[in-house]
Chain A
Amino acid sequence: MKNSFATIHQAPRVKIPTAIVLFLLVISTFAELRAQGYTNVATQSVTIEVKPISRISVAGNPSQLIIKDEARGNEQSLISDDNTKYSLSTNVGNMKIVASINDRMPAGTKLMIRLASSKAASEGVVDLSNAMTPVNVVTGIGKGIESNQTISYTFAANAEVQDLPATSRTITLTLTN
């Protein structure tokens, strides 16, 4: 006789491997962390601004301008130097360069300046002899850079100026609007 207990059917016991349990646990943890990340938002406000900047520079000083030739009648004697350069950069439109002299030129003499410009309008030869207040030498300068532009100085003396000891003047070039 068969044992009746033996005929009782028990549900088969399914064994879930421990590795799978751990895997599911890790997955669920990552999912939870990720869900938390989507709901945590941090914001920052960044303010940016470009200030107006203008720069002008010169390379060196011109050579001594000494007139040594003989005066002819009433003609002016001239001597020039164009060996110095200027460079500028600006992020402001419609700028200009003005020039001034720190003291008036001696009687019977003149000092003139000319600034070349590849992108703006040069005012040509400008007399600085009495330019204690700045005068325009280059106008209409746009945003950008100009490099190694020629500066020309011309010193002139009337025929009656026979002897003038070497002296100097300071020329100020200003890039402004």
Chain B
Amino acid sequence: MKTLISVCSILLLMLLASPEANSQTTNSTVQTVSFGVSRPIKPILHAVENLQQSQGSITSSEINDLQSQLKQQSSKVTVSAMNTPSSSAHMDLLSVLESKQPIANSKNSVVLTVTE
């Protein structure tokens, strides 16, 4: 049995080493392509703007609703804000959202954080 296996092994090696093994009409190569989508959250700022324009203030529950909307579009986004910003703080709120930087407005007691 061992002799048979040895003979078969030698024949297989000879076959692999034969010139035919080096002959080929087909040859392949591969590339890896990485991709993704990471859009800015600017498009969803209209929801914030509309909310403030219509009510002039944002409550905690509304912030939670807003965050739910944001998370539907990007799982990486978190928003936190408290109290009621005045109309003067409205632009600050938008700029914060656009710049994605936290802001603290002690006068109006607005603390908003957007992270992505």
By a beta-carbon cutoff of 8 Å, the part of chain A in contact with chain B is 49, 51-58, 60-62, 64-71, 77, 84, 86, 90, 92, 95, 109, 111, 151, 153, 155, 157, 161-177
Contacts and interface: CB of A to CB of B under 8 A. Distances in A.
Contacts of B75: 163
Contact of A176 (B26, B73, B74): B26
Contacts of A174: 26-28
Interface stretch (B29-37, B59-67, B84-92): B29-37
A62 B39 contact: no
B36 A173 contact: no
B33 A61 contact: yes
A159 to B, nearest CB: 9
A89 B94 CA distance: 58
Interface residues of B, number: 27
Contacts of A54: 24-27
Interface of B: 19-20, 22-40, 42-43, 73-76
Nearest to A163: B74
Would you list the 4 A-B pairs with minimal beta carbon distance, nearest first? A51-B23, A166-B36, A164-B37, A65-B35
B33 A153 contact: yes
A172 B24 contact: no
A52 B20 CA distance: 10
7 contacts: A58-B29, A60-B31, A62-B34, A69-B40, A163-B75, A171-B32, A174-B27
A67 B39 contact: yes
Given A68-B40, A163-B75, A169 B33 contact: yes
A105 to B, nearest CB: 8
Contact of A175 (B26, B34, B74): B26
A162 B74 contact: yes
B61 to A, nearest CB: 24
Contact of A165 (B19, B26, B36): B36
Contact of A51 (B22, B26, B35): B22
A69 B38 CA distance: 8
Contacts of B28: 56, 172-175
Greatest chain B CB density within 10 A among A55, A162, A176 is at A162
A52 B23 contact: yes
